[in-house]
Amino acid sequence: MNKTVALHTLGCKLNFSETSSIGRLLEHEGFEKRDFDEVADVYVINTCSVTDNADKECRMLVRRIQRKAPEALVVITGCYAQLKPQEIAAIPGVDLVLGAAEKFNIAAHLKEVTKGDSAKICSCDIEDVNEFTASHSINDRTRIFLKVQDGCDYNCSFCTIPMARGKSRSDSISNVIANVEAIAAKGAKEIVLTGINLGDFRPPNPLKGEIANAVRTEKENFLSLIEELDKVNGIERFRISSIEPNLLTNEIIEFVSNSKKFMPHFHIPLQSGSDKILGLMRRRYKKDLYTERIGLIKTMMPHCCIGVDVIVGFPGETDEDFQETFNFLHQLDISYLHVFTYSERTNTLAATMKPVVPINIRNERNKVLRNLSYQKMQYFTNAHIGQTRKVLFETKNRNGMMEGYTDNYIKITTPFNEVWENNIVEWKI
């Protein structure tokens, strides 16, 4: 009888796409997939370092597994596993900890572990992680998250991602195209390009040092990637998951505005509307540049949906600084916010910065911006009432209802109708 495996993702869409790929890889090795709530022979948890409670969540999940399937092998991988392997190995019930370079070698590692032995750690120095492994999710076949870039060379003072995922590296354009064609052949209509620092897409680089830097400036970059993808048949829609404002060039904005396949939807991290705080965060732009980007997008695509990441309660953020962020976002023509409350991360520069903002004030600021986000979303949606836009409906029947998104990311919910499943429908909002 085949062995069974159940997988669980904590964190972002990139993690989600990697978990999907690990699952397919294990299926290829003869494993049968089970839901995480079911009994399985092997459980894999793909962890995140950004969530506040990675540690707590991981412990809770392992306890649940132990109650349900005490003999099952428990594997922990992902960002948290790379950052704190010893801590994870010490959690009772964990059998195998796989770092950033080893997660896709899971099948080989599983052959080496036995339940009852102390947890095995397979992890290397993050500096040595060079390889890029493409992955994509295939949960609901309508919208697929395709990883085309990994890691980050930036050094934002609050962020542990470069320590967890390593240096910036990408797939080749030809390989991305091959993956997109294969996904299209399975019937998917929309692909979301994902990465850690997606705008930093560059040629795969086996070289080191100066020659490598010279090669990087040539040919393959994010703009050439989307130009090539635009020509691929079979996929009707592409979205760009998130792109740093300093890498979102005028050429990219112009290209998207003329493209039939790249949707009028951007997600652009801002993090703070105060230049002082942006400096402390070591972000690579000031708010003027951000204003310019939004201005250009809205001039070229007035109906474009724009999402913004923002962090509240960063060390040194005074009431005035927060007010400046609020005012900046309030007057900006954007559609919604993702608000994060700052929390200290071990081994980051920001964790040593003073003065820290009391937790209750951080939470209050979060509430204020969430409220603003709600209003922005209402305003953006209401402005489209009466318009007809193209909606791609998902295949899931959610208690008799179905969901879909317009080209500019307005969510539509309507009674389930199988004729619309995975189809693009002209829809009056």
268 is a contact residue toward ligand SF4 (CB under 6 A): no
Separation of alpha carbons 52 and 72, rounded Å: 27
Cβ distance to ligand SF4 smaller for residue 159 or 372: 159
What is the DSSP annotation of 27-68?
A: HHTT-EEE-TTS--SEEEEEE-SSSTTHHHHHHHHHHHHHHH
51 is a contact residue toward ligand SF4 (CB under 6 A): no
196 is a contact residue toward ligand SF4 (CB under 6 A): yes
Region binding ligand SF4 by CB under 6 A among candidate stretches 63-71, 158-166, 290-298, 414-422: 158-166
Cβ distance to ligand SF4 smaller for residue 54 or 188: 54
What is the DSSP annotation of 398-415?
A: BTTEEEEEETT--EEEEE
* Helices and strands, counts by H and E, the chain: 14, 19
H or E element in which residue 312 lies: strand 305-312
154 is a contact residue toward ligand SF4 (CB under 6 A): yes
Cβ distance to ligand SF4 smaller for residue 154 or 255: 154
Supply the minimum distance, in Å, between the C-beta of residue 152 and ligand SF4: 3
What is the DSSP annotation of 169-205?
A: EE--HHHHHHHHHHHHHTT--EEEEE-SSGGG-----
152 is a contact residue toward ligand SF4 (CB under 6 A): yes
416 is a contact residue toward ligand SF4 (CB under 6 A): no
Supply the minimum distance, in Å, between the C-beta of residue 383 and ligand SF4: 30
Region binding ligand SF4 by CB under 6 A among candidate stretches 13-21, 38-46, 150-158, 335-343: 150-158
Q: What 3-state DSSP class applies to 74?
A: strand
Cβ distance to ligand SF4 smaller for residue 54 or 156: 156
77 is a contact residue toward ligand SF4 (CB under 6 A): no
Whether the CA torsion 383, 385, 386, 389 is positive or negative: it is positive
Could you say which of 78, 85, 93, 162 contacts ligand SF4 (CB under 6 A)? 162
Cβ distance to ligand SF4 smaller for residue 245 or 264: 245
Supply the minimum distance, in Å, between the C-beta of residue 196 and ligand SF4: 5
Supply the minimum distance, in Å, between the C-beta of residue 86 and ligand SF4: 23
Which phi and psi (to 5°) does residue 377 adopt? -65, -45
The mark string for 228-267 relative to ligand SF4 (x by CB under 6 A, - otherwise) is: ----------------x-----------------------
Q: What is the DSSP letter of 248?
A: S
**Contacts of residue 3, Cβ cutoff 8 Å, sequence gap at least 6:** 30, 31, 32, 41, 42
161 is a contact residue toward ligand SF4 (CB under 6 A): yes
Region binding ligand SF4 by CB under 6 A among candidate stretches 5-13, 97-105, 131-139, 156-164: 156-164
Of 143, 147, 183, the closest CA to residue 12 belongs to 147
Which phi and psi (to 5°) does residue 130 adopt? -120, -20
Supply the minimum distance, in Å, between the C-beta of residue 301 and ligand SF4: 25
In the complex, the residues that contact ligand SF4 under the rule CB under 6 A are 152, 154, 156, 159, 161-162, 196-197, 244
